[in-house]
Amino acid sequence: YAKKNKLDQQIYNQKIDVNTLERLQLINELKSAIEQGELVLFYQPKLDLKLNKVTHVEALVRWQHPDRGMIPPDTFIPIAEQMGQMNALTRWVMNESIAQYLRWKSQGIDLGIAINISAENLKDPYFCQYVLDVISDSNVPIEALTLEITEDAVVSDPENAIKQLKILKKYGLKLSIDDYGTGYSSLAQLKQLPVDELKIDKSFVQNLMVSQDDQIIVNSTLQLAHSLGLRVVAEGIEDEAALAWLTERGCEMGQGYYLSRPTDADNLVQWLTSSRY
Ligand code: C2E
Ligand code: CA
Ligand code: CA
Ligand code: CA
């Protein structure tokens, strides 16, 4: 028995070593990945449930690693955050999103783009200035861009975050609270945020049709958001019934695998032309 325990321990240690090694390699490679163009943006449609039409997409970054293949953001975003590389990453995402917006525009396709912002970005007091500079250097209409911000980005330093968000909002950017319901922000804090949109976290939406609790949470979130004058986006819609349920209850927008998984720009256009949206 002792022997088996020892073996388990060895296997366990080995696993840790491999993970640590992998992590260290990723940390080393991430910086050059941004410079060498190994990042790609995938896009997932945001369907306007009233118009039954895709009016926006969310940009979701992936790392196309030369040896390891496609690395999902949950693997490398936390590393970028710890290594102080989030500003470089967000800069790249913004520039690429704007370039894609303009490419689509020139093909007659008008899609607003939502960009994810990390808590690290908002901590930088020059963040909003940077965002405004990037936008004014391009031909993108400012209202075509939405910034998706998680609750925790605001909780750590609400005063600074609110100040920056207010400036961005004043210039016409759309702001969205991402993963709503999973963070620890209070209603009082939310009320102070100059946001346009609230995104209900997918954990409340994925099992909507089989969970009474989720239905209650989503229903009351819809009422709360609407009474505060906010538009609601439900993410994680995985079946037709959930889409219908949300549409009936006045949810403004929907997103999820049932409609489309995130996909590259060309595939998205193909999907748009073949789908009924
Ligand atoms: P998020 O912003 O909450 O994005 C939604 C995630 O849910 C995406 O995962 C998307 O592929 C996935 N998803 C969409 N619909 C469904 C569905 O119906 N069912 C399920 N199970 N999942 C669905 P992804 O692309 O792996 O991104 C994970 C997270 O990584 C994002 O969560 C976001 O927090 C972060 N992220 C992605 N791109 C960026 C970026 O450019 N900048 C920053 N700061 N964070 C990013
Ligand atoms: Ca998001
Ligand atoms: Ca989310
Ligand atoms: Ca998330």
pLDDT of residue 15: 57
Tell the residue nearest (CA) to atom 10 of ligand 1: 262
Tell the residue nearest (CA) to atom 42 of ligand 1: 116
Tell the residue nearest (CA) to atom 4 of ligand 1: 60
pTM: 0.92
Q: Nearest CA to 148 among 173, 183, 182, 170? A: 173
pLDDT band for position 143 (cuts 50, 70, 90): very high
Statement: residue 212 has pLDDT above 90: yes
Lowest-pLDDT range, 14-28, 46-60, 63-77, 138-152? 14-28
pLDDT of residue 17: 61
Statement: residue 13 has pLDDT above 60: no
What is the ipTM, given to two decimal places? 0.98
Q: Write the pLDDT tens digit of every residue in 57-78.
A: 999 999 999 988 999 999 999 9
CA 4 / ligand 2 centre spacing (Å): 45
Average pLDDT, the chain: 91
Q: Give the β-pairing of 39-48 and 53-65.
A: antiparallel
Question: What DSSP assignment string belongs to the chain?
Answer: -HHHHHHHHHHHHHHHHHHHHHHHHHHHHHHHHHHTT-EEEEEEEEEETTTTEEEEEEEEEEEEETTTEEEPHHHHHHHHHHTT-HHHHHHHHHHHHHHHHHHHHHTT---EEEEEE-HHHHHSTTHHHHHHHHHHTS---GGGEEEEEEHHHHHSSHHHHHHHHHHHHHTT-EEEEEEETSS---HHHHHHS--SEEEE-GGGTTTGGG-HHHHHHHHHHHHHHHHTT-EEEE----SHHHHHHHHHTT--EE-STTT---B-HHHHHHHHHHS--
Query: Contact 59/93 with Cβ under 8 angstroms?
Result: yes
What is the percent of the chain with per-residue pLDDT over 90, rounded to a whole number? 74
CA 178 / ligand 2 centre spacing (Å): 5
Query: Contact 240/276 with Cβ under 8 angstroms?
Result: no
- How many whole angstroms separate alpha carbon 242 and alpha carbon 104? 30
Measured from CB, residues less than 6 Å from any atom of ligand 1 are: 44, 60-61, 72-74, 77, 93, 116-118, 148, 178-179, 202, 206, 235-238, 255-257, 262
Find the mean pLDDT for residues 11-16.
56
Q: Write the pLDDT tens digit of every residue in 103-131.
A: 999 999 999 999 999 999 999 989 999 99
Name the one residue in this structure whose structure tokens are 């926006």: 56
Greater pLDDT, 31 or 138: 138
Helix axes 86-106, 2-35, angle to 10 degrees: 60
Q: Which of 7-21, 82-96, 147-161 has maximum average pLDDT?
A: 82-96
CA 16 / ligand 3 centre spacing (Å): 29
What is the percent of the chain with per-residue pLDDT over 70, rounded to a whole number? 92
Tell the residue nearest (CA) to atom 41 of ligand 1: 61
CA 7 / ligand 4 centre spacing (Å): 37
Lowest-pLDDT range, 22-31, 115-124, 172-181, 209-218? 22-31
Tell the residue nearest (CA) to atom 5 of ligand 1: 235
For 210, residues 6+ apart whose C-beta sits below 8 A from its C-beta are none
Find the mean pLDDT for residues 2-12.
61
